[in-house]
């Protein structure tokens, strides 16, 4: 039985750090384990220009505690007014690694997202030309579409048409939650990748709804049926280079989660690597964890694998994770998997 595993230092290819006091508190939770992270741009106001991305990067680096090494990989928020030349310049400078597509109204702070996809076609064509990936929040927002079907409909109505209309566009389907999405990725070429979150490997929709509403398991895209969770596990542990880790760790204060209209997001930065070791061990795939967490993402983004290493060790007693992270904005609850975890990460 494997009790120690050393892998290259992992990266997080989908992360929310917020700003201000929240940024100060949650950044160390990621930087403790991850070398780099794709930083989501859905601030208020959103990060839409190269100059705004540079300023946000500077705020992140200023919040990094002494002695911690971490590289924020910046993104731009795609709007119907995004300037293709500004995107190209930000990419050419080395600052911006991707552009993020939020369908308007799909999730937290997505009101500035895209409603008319024809209006962003020049940006997408420029991105295909320069090799800049498009990261997608893959849900339609039509009110007649059931929330559990939004991802599957997005593939048919939005994603597949965009990819066919824009040859060469590199796309990351972020935080996939369905068997449909996993199968779509597996059927496509290497210009398409997908991130999978830690929490979607662990919870299904019963965890949110059975025995009372559990607001700290509510996220978007919402967790689906058990058959979809199992399909995600199979994809993540398959060794296929098109699947890689993106935690979508999303801090909200407890009052904002535990309210009449609670915010969507699970905060997993603190314990993701321990939870992943648990999941991959359950699936008999510890030998695939380095690929999923440390190697496939850099390969997709054309970056080197981190030179530093992480060691995961399985102990005899459960690891004690903090229940909450205290921030200047209020407490943030750390994701509770609902079972004991024996793997620690250093």
Catalytically active residues are: 248
- Of 24, 36, 20, nearest to 244 by C-alpha is 36
Q: Is there a contact between 239 and 286 (Cβ–Cβ < 8 Å)?
A: no
d(CA 119, CA 111): 16
- Outline where the chain has alpha helix (H): 20-31, 50-63, 84-92, 121-130, 150-154, 160-165, 179-186, 205-209, 226-236, 254-257, 272-282, 289-290, 296-301
Using DSSP, state whether 114 is helix, strand or coil.
Answer: strand
Count Cα neighbours of 116 within 13 Å in the Cβ-side half-sphere. Answer: 6
Computed from CA positions of residues 113, 117, 118, 121, in that sequence, does the dihedral angle turn out positive or negative?
A: positive
Using DSSP, state whether 97 is helix, strand or coil.
Answer: strand
Angle between helical axes of 20-31 and 50-63 (0-180°, round to 10): 70
């Amino acid at each position: 039985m494997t009790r120690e595993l050393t892998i290259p230092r992992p990266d997080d290819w989908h992360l929310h750090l917020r700003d201000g006091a929240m940024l100060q508190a949650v950044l160390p939770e990621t930087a403790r384990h991850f070398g780099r992270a794709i930083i989501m741009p859905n601030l208020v106001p959103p990060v839409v220009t190269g100059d705004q991305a540079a300023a946000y990067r500077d705020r992140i680096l200023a919040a990094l505690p002494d002695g911690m090494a971490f590289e924020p990989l910046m993104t731009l928020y795609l709007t119907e007014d995004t300037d293709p030349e500004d995107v190209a310049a930000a990419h050419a400078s080395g600052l911006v690694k991707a552009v993020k597509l939020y369908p308007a109204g799909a999730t937290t702070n997505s009101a500035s997202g895209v409603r008319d996809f024809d209006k962003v076609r020049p940006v997408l064509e420029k991105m295909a030309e320069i090799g800049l990936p498009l990261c997608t929040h893959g849900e339609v927002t039509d009110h007649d579409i059931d929330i559990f079907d939004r991802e599957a409909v997005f593939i048919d109505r939005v994603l597949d048409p965009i990819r066919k209309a824009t040859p060469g566009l590199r796309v990351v389907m972020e935080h996939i939650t369905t068997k449909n999405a996993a199968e779509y990725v597996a059927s496509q070429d290497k210009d398409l990748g997908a991130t999978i979150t830690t929490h979607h490997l662990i919870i299904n929709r019963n965890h949110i709804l059975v025995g009372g509403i559990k607001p700290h398991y509510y996220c978007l895209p919402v967790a689906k049926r058990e058959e979809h969770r199992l399909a995600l596990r199979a994809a993540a542990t398959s060794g296929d280079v098109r699947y890689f880790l993106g935690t979508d760790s999303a801090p909200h204060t407890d009052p904002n989660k535990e309210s009449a209209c609670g915010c969507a997001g699970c905060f997993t930065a603190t314990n993701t690597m321990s939870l992943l070791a648990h999941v991959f061990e359950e699936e008999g795939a510890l030998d695939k964890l380095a690929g999923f967490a440390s190697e496939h993402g850099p390969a997709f983004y054309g970056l080197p694998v981190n030179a530093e290493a992480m060691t995961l060790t399985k102990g005899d007693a459960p690891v004690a994770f903090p229940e909450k992270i205290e921030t200047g904005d209020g407490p943030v609850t750390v994701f509770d998997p609902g079972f004991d975890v024996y793997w620690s990460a250093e």
